[in-house]
Amino acid sequence: MITSLDDYSRFLLYAKLLEQESSWAHIESSASIILTYGCPYSYYTQRLK
């Protein structure tokens, strides 16, 4: 599952359930958010290990 939340309003900007995560899926989600809402001031990620 790939999700993006606005840290201030908690508005769900993006959500997609996938069988397997990939780098390309994260790039597509970022592109979708930027094209829809504009560039974020900052972007926090969860480092999967």
pTM: 0.77
Question: Residue 9 burial by CB count (10 A; 0-12/13-18/19+): exposed, middle or buried?
Answer: exposed
What distances in angstroms separate CA 11 from CA 6, 15, 19, one per listed residue? 5, 11, 24
Q: Specify the 3-state DSSP secondary structure of 25.
A: helix
- Which residues of the chain fall below pLDDT 70? 47-49
Residue 38 per-residue DSSP state: -
For residue 31, what pLDDT is reported? 96
pLDDT of residue 16: 95
Q: Check residue 48 and give its pLDDT.
A: 64
Longest dimension (CA), the chain: 30
